[in-house]
Amino acid sequence: MGLLIVSEYVLMASLAVFSIAAVRIATRKSIGMGLVGISGLSIAIATLLILINRVYGIGFCRDIAYALVLLGPVGTIAFARVLRG
């Protein structure tokens, strides 16, 4: 297999590691830390879905990634707005 395929698999593995780290951060004591963790998790999952779309050819993963990239920040900003009061 070529270097591009190997680098895509390496990126998948690193995104999985980052997802685990983001979930661990989300469980920390403050609410803002949860927002940091979940927003990191959403971008990691969106990029992972684009990679799955390219490597395995699953078409709807791209649409889910688009929804995640658009709606994830909107939800985070809305929650932060509520947290600010």
Kindly list the residues in this chain that would bind other proteins in the complex (CB under 8 A).
Answer: 2-4, 6-8, 10-11, 13-15, 17-18, 20-22, 24-25, 28-33, 35-36, 39-40, 43-44, 46-47, 50-51, 54, 62, 65-66, 69-70, 73, 76-77, 79-81, 83-85
CB of 42 to other proteins, least distance (A): 10
CB of 83 to other proteins, least distance (A): 4
Residues 6+ apart with CB under 8 A from 53: 59, 61, 62, 65
Q: How far from chain centre, in Å, is Cα 84?
A: 24
- CB-based contact 64:24 (threshold 8 Å): no
